[in-house]
Amino acid sequence: MAGIPEHLLKRAQEARERAAKGADAPAAAASADGESRISGDLLDRSKGAVAVAEKPGAAVVSAAPGGSVPFGAGPGGHTQRLLTVVKSGSIQDVKAVPVDKVHTWPHLLGIEFVAALACTAFTFVFSWFVNAPLLQAANFNQTPNPSKAPWYFLGLQELLTMFHPMIAGVTIPGMGLIILILAPYLDRNESNRPEDRKIMTSLMTVHLMFWAILVITGSFFRGPGFNFVFPWREGIFFEL
C-alpha cells in the first residue's frame, strides 16, 4: 500500500487538534476559494470518529436527528475513508519495446531492388566481354543425336523415359508444386532458425535432391538415342 503523503498527515493532525479544543467553537478550514466555517454537527462527528480511532470499541457521537447513525455510514459509524493515495503518472506506457521485426517497405524491398540492379548490371557487362557458348545455326535436315533439352528441363525429359507423358509432365510436377504451396500452411512454426524447422528443411532437401538426380542423370548418363551410358566409357554427351 502506498504511503500517505506528509501534507495529508499534517492536515489530519491539525483537524484533530482543532476538534479537541472545543465542541462548539467554530474552526477555520482552508479551502481553494478562501476561508470557510465548519458547522458544529461536523465537529461532533469528527470527535466521534477520533474517539473510535483512538479507543477501539467506543461509540460514535452522531449529530444526526434522533441520535441514529447516518445513512450509508460504514463500520463504527465512519462516513469517510481514505483507501489509498495513487501517485500521479502517465496513463500510457511510453517505453519503447525492442522488437526483431521491420517493415517490408522500405527495408526489404529496397535491398532487393538494389540487388536486382546490381545483378542486371553485372550480367550486362559480362555479356559485353564474354560471348555466349552458342552452337552453329540449326540444320533442319540433320537432327543432333542425342537431342537434349536445356539442362533446367532435363529433369522432365528424364521423367519421360520412365513414365507416361501425362504422369511425367503433369501429375508429378503438379503434385510437387501443390506440396510446396501447402507446406507453409501445414508447418506453422514461425522460427527463423534452421534447427527449429526440421520439417521444412527435410521437405526442401528431398525436393532438391530428387530433381538434382534427374538433371545429373539426363546430362551425363544419356547418350545417343537418349540411352543410358557410362560417361567414363562412352564420353559425355552434354552441351549447354
Domain boundaries, the chain: 6-77, 102-132, 144-240
Amino acid, single-letter form, for residue 59: A
CATH for 144-240 (3.40.1000, 1.10.8, 1.10.287, 1.10.3470)? 1.10.287
**Average pLDDT estimate for 137-162:** 88
- Chain-centre distance for alpha carbon 140: 61
Q: Residue 125 has which C-alpha cell?
A: 557487362
Q: Is 97 helix (H, G, I), strand (E, B) or coil?
A: coil
pLDDT of 62 strictly over 50: no
Dist. CA 215–CA 42, nearest whole Å: 99
Give helix then strand counts, H and E, for the chain.
Answer: 8, 2
Confidence of residue 92 (pLDDT cuts 50, 70, 90): low
Confidence of residue 187 (pLDDT cuts 50, 70, 90): confident
Confidence of residue 63 (pLDDT cuts 50, 70, 90): very low
Tell me what pLDDT residue 212 has: 93
Residue 52 or residue 205, greater confidence:
205
Give the count of alpha carbons within 13 A of 112, CB side only. Answer: 6
pLDDT of 126 strictly over 80: yes
Smallest Cα–Cα separation from 81: which of 121, 53, 51, 107? Answer: 53
Tell me what pLDDT residue 1 has: 47
